[in-house]
Structure 1
Amino acid sequence: MHIQDAIDRVGFGRFQRRLFLLCGITWAADAAEILLLSFALPGVTEEFGLTSGQAGLVVASTFAGMLAGAWFWGIMADRVGRRLGFQLTIAIFAVFGVASAFAPGPVWLAVLRALTGFGLGGAMPLDFALFTEYLPTRDRGRWLVLLESWWAVGTVAAAALALIIMPTVGWRWLLATSAAAALLVLWARLRVPESARYLLARGDVAGASVLVAEVARINGVTPPARPLQLPAGQGAATPGDLLRGALGRTTLLLWTVWLLIGFGYYGIFAWLPQIFADEYGFLRSYQYVFFLALAQLPGYLSAAWLVERAGRKPVLAGYLAAAAVATFGWAVADTSAMVLLSAGLMNFFTLGAWAALYAYTPERYPTQLRASGLGAASGFARIGAVTAPLAGGALLALSLPVALTVFAAAFLLAALAVAGYAAETRGTRLDDTVAERVPLR
């Protein structure tokens, strides 16, 4: 029996719901940890007397660490397993996230945020790789989108924490709050099993069979009676396989899209509190940012509903194009009401696009290279995220409309790349080895 048929048989039940909750809480903590520094940026800038360029470097340090972490932990997870990386990455970001709250100066803050990002960068693709590999084919895309929707929960939590903490005890307590929660997540992660698909792709039929039977027991169904089928070409693959043949063309497309959406999204969101405070005179209490973050939730839910009906490709391309239109609308808005409407729509469509991309990417790689492929792709989003705060500072020095127009162009280019070159994956079976993988037409 093919491993996907076995997972389809045991279905979506108590085991997957537990894993969804654990990965989701981790994902929310990841989002909060990333965005809290942006919300804390006015306080950091004031305390350390930073210029806009120096503040951009501090923000970019987290994403530089995430870039290294995504590439390193993606490769490691395909070599030593998902479970070990699943635990180590959360430990790294929790410890150094808390430590960054005690930074004595901007250099130390940047170093500690880079180390925090090294853990974050690995935790994010590993969550999706592990969850994907235990999902039945039916509604797989919907559940992956819903997992990504925890990002909005983390964003809302970060904005709410900023609303409460920044006016009272300051940015240091703000950074410490979210990272401390990750220590509790680490305790729960210690009981997460290895991926059965990963074990089978490595040739461990007995180990994979035991895990599938355990998932069936937890879900309250009868385990598959037929033995698992060893996939063709099992064993180790190399990261170089990501760039060979049809898989190489897929990889280049995904790297392009991840780079562009990362540049556009982080270029805007890293400076959002500062933009509202400086450009429009909105309160520094983050009330407006909090309400904008709420716009992300219906963006995710609409994408979750559409991704199994319309397919991954039209949802991803359509939401990226709509994000470009909304961002440009913000650039030309001339009233506070239009600013909030355009910015809210930008959040709605951008986060829906992120969700579709996170659902689509792991489906395009075999189990042998799923973590490496997802880690490498998300690493390109971090390249965009590293350059975006720096570019944002320079572009904002020219004018806000110029900056927003550039970020809108990034979303539009990503939409065109998806529309022109992406293949549909709705309803397809996941592959486990490079040899087993058949290019989608």
Structure 2
Amino acid sequence: MDSQTLNINKIIDEAKFSPFHWKVLFWCLLIIIFDGYDLIIYGVALPLLMEEWALTTVQAGLLASSALFGMMFGAMIFGTLSDKIGRKKTILICVGLFSSFTFFGAFAENPIQFAILRFIAGLGIGGVMPICVALTSEYAPKRIRSTLVAVMFSGYAIGGMASALLGSFLVVDYGWEVMFYIAGIPTLLLPIIWKMLPESLMYLVKEGREKDAKNIVQKLVPQESITASTVLLLDEPTKSDDAPIKALFLKNRGFTTIMFWVAFFMCLLMVYALASWLPKLMTQAGYSLGASMLFLFALNIGGMIGAIGGGVLADKFHLKPVLTVMFAAGAISLILLGYNSPQIVLYTLIGVAGATTIGSQILLYTFVAQYYPTIVRTTAMGWASGIGRIGAIVGPILTGALLTLELNHQTNFLFIAIPGVIAAIAIFLVNLNAAVDSKQAETKPITLDVPASA
């Protein structure tokens, strides 16, 4: 019996969008929604925590950074681990960490306990982001890949909106703890996620798990007859498996790797400065606590619109020019936020700021996912995200320090806008030819061949 050869890369690239794709998108989206919720609740709880524990602005900034330190290490550790043990197992570990330890945060009796719990939760929050991006990207058809990844990662903004909206209604009456109780829900969903979320097909092929791989291929191409003699072929790099971090700097990728790290650093600095301090900045400007929560809601609405809209534009044009323009527009909107404006203009500027900071963060993950080969994809995203977390750590601390200096409103927002200009320059300098050249130079077929007699 003649064997049938199927190219995995081609099958995924050319697949019709199917119920299987919906399942991958739904579960990754749901995970990222809770991930975004767990992260943003600190900004919601911050004004009350500062009163309850008599925190200075610098202390509050340091407390915010405890989760961000965890996210930095989580992105690096779990991103690399995912390339070794698979996407699915690592996602489950991360969800268990961020959900359960955020829930435990409601029972913290002092800032030290709270910081430790937020650090551990941060490991999961930071770890799950690049892995969900990788899994979605690895199953998304090529023609709509940027759009699907952006839709999935817009869950981060949806989670932030849910956190801000619930906070505006619940926190004043029930205390900040209620937000942390809600965060425990994903822990209860772990058995369902384990059953429903598929493993990466490319990982299954590389690991020789032929039965699982062929079951998924059959769902992607139901018109094909997958038999014991079917050969699954995967175009993958043959080197760097033992040293995935080193591979980020091989084949002319070194300079662009640094540019991605710079862009992540600057982008996350803006995102987390705004996520942690926007309600406080607006209350200092004279707005009520409830109204300030709605500004955070508008920021995340903009983030969702920016991510999806940017993804559609990226599929039509390219991620590089789209991201460059978005970062530049973000810097302009943040500068304008420092000036008195009518309420409709203010909400519009906050929406644009969200679209071009949160939205750009999401598209950056997409860009990195498409730039690097699969064998080091989550390593690349994990390290870019991890380096970016340094910016996320600096953002809340720097903003808290700025507030202690009692600078005017315009100066505060100007400082938050400067990283947007730097990020735009870094993305503009990304070398697209290096990705094409290195992939062509490093790839050869990997096959999963099960004899007909098996």
Does structure 1 residue 38 correspond to structure 2 residue 38?
no
Which residue identity lines up with residue 20 of structure 1 in the other structure?
L
Secondary structure of 2:404's match?
helix
In structure 2, the CA distance between the partners of 1:344 and 1:425, relative to structure 1 (3 Å rule), is farther
Write the mapping of 1:162-201 to structure 2, written as runs, cut at 5 A: 162-177=167-182, 179-191=183-195, 192-201=197-206
| Structure 1 runs not aligned, ≥5 long | none
1:270 aligned to 269, 276, 290, which one?
276
Kindly indicate whether the alpha-carbon contact (under 8 Å) linking 2:302 and 2:350 is maintained by their aligned counterparts in 1. Answer: no
In structure 2, the CA distance between the partners of 1:96 and 1:248, relative to structure 1 (3 Å rule), is same
Distance in 1 separating the partners of 2:170 and 2:363: 33
Kindly indicate whether the alpha-carbon contact (under 8 Å) linking 1:205 and 1:228 is maintained by their aligned counterparts in 2. Answer: no
Report the Cα offset of residue 264 of structure 1.
1.5
Counterpart of 2:63?
A: 58
Counterpart of 1:311?
A: 318
In structure 2, the CA distance between the partners of 1:369 and 1:188, relative to structure 1 (3 Å rule), is same
Counterpart of 1:206?
A: 210
Counterpart of 2:3?
A: none
Which residue identity lines up with residue 187 of structure 2 in the other structure?
L
2:148 aligned to 143, 146, 153, which one?
143
Report the Cα offset of residue 9 of structure 1.
4.7
Report the Cα offset of residue 335 of structure 1.
5.4
Counterpart of 2:219?
A: 215
Does structure 1 residue 411 correspond to structure 2 residue 444?
no
Counterpart of 1:389?
A: 396
Distance in 1 separating the partners of 2:434 and 2:14: 20
Secondary structure of 1:253's match?
helix
What is the total number of aligned residue pairs between the two structures? 431
Report the Cα offset of residue 314 of structure 1.
1.1
Per mean C-alpha deviation after superposition, the further-off stretch among 304-313 and 276-285 is: 276-285
Counterpart of 2:8?
A: 3
1:369 aligned to 369, 376, 383, which one?
376
Write the mapping of 1:64-103 to structure 2, written as runs, cut at 5 A: 64-103=69-108
In structure 2, the CA distance between the partners of 1:101 and 1:421, relative to structure 1 (3 Å rule), is same
Distance in 1 separating the partners of 2:152 and 2:232: 28
Map Cα deviations across residues 148-197 of structure 1 (whole Å, 9 max, x no partner).
211221111001110121111110111221x2222244233212232111
Distance in 2 separating the partners of 1:289 and 1:215: 41
2:347 aligned to 340, 350, 371, which one?
340
| Structure 2 runs not aligned, ≥5 long | 1-5, 445-454
Secondary structure of 1:314's match?
helix
Counterpart of 2:54?
A: 49
Per mean C-alpha deviation after superposition, the further-off stretch among 221-230 and 47-56 is: 221-230
Report the Cα offset of residue 352 of structure 1.
2.8
TM-score (norm 1): 0.91
In structure 2, the CA distance between the partners of 1:255 and 1:292, relative to structure 1 (3 Å rule), is closer
Kindly indicate whether the alpha-carbon contact (under 8 Å) linking 1:253 and 1:421 is maintained by their aligned counterparts in 2. Answer: yes
Kindly indicate whether the alpha-carbon contact (under 8 Å) linking 2:70 and 2:119 is maintained by their aligned counterparts in 1. Answer: yes
- Aligned-pair identity in percent equals 27
Map Cα deviations across residues 351-400 of structure 1 (whole Å, 9 max, x no partner).
33223212111111111111111111111221111111110011223323
Counterpart of 1:423?
A: 432
Does structure 1 residue 355 correspond to structure 2 residue 362?
yes
Secondary structure of 2:395's match?
helix
In structure 2, the CA distance between the partners of 1:221 and 1:102, relative to structure 1 (3 Å rule), is farther
Map Cα deviations across residues 288-309 of structure 1 (whole Å, 9 max, x no partner).
3333432333323321321111
Secondary structure of 1:271's match?
helix
Report the Cα offset of residue 39 of structure 1.
0.8
Which residue identity lines up with residue 236 of structure 1 in the other structure?
D
Secondary structure of 1:332's match?
coil
Secondary structure of 2:355's match?
helix
Larger-Rg structure: 2
Report the Cα offset of residue 10 of structure 1.
4.0
In structure 2, the CA distance between the partners of 1:145 and 1:363, relative to structure 1 (3 Å rule), is same
Kindly indicate whether the alpha-carbon contact (under 8 Å) linking 1:22 and 1:185 is maintained by their aligned counterparts in 2. Answer: no
Report the Cα offset of residue 230 of structure 1.
4.8
Counterpart of 2:30?
A: 25
Distance in 2 separating the partners of 1:104 and 1:160: 26
Which residue identity lines up with residue 213 of structure 1 in the other structure?
V
Kindly indicate whether the alpha-carbon contact (under 8 Å) linking 1:366 and 1:434 is maintained by their aligned counterparts in 2. Answer: no
Does structure 1 residue 156 correspond to structure 2 residue 161?
yes
Distance in 1 separating the partners of 2:192 and 2:231: 31
Which residue identity lines up with residue 374 of structure 1 in the other structure?
M
1:229 aligned to 229, 233, 237, which one?
233
Counterpart of 1:134?
A: 139
Map Cα deviations across residues 222-242 of structure 1 (whole Å, 9 max, x no partner).
356862225451783312222
Distance in 1 separating the partners of 2:11 and 2:438: 12
Counterpart of 1:247?
A: 253
Secondary structure of 1:101's match?
helix
Counterpart of 1:15?
A: 20
Does structure 1 residue 281 correspond to structure 2 residue 287?
yes
TM-score (norm 2): 0.88
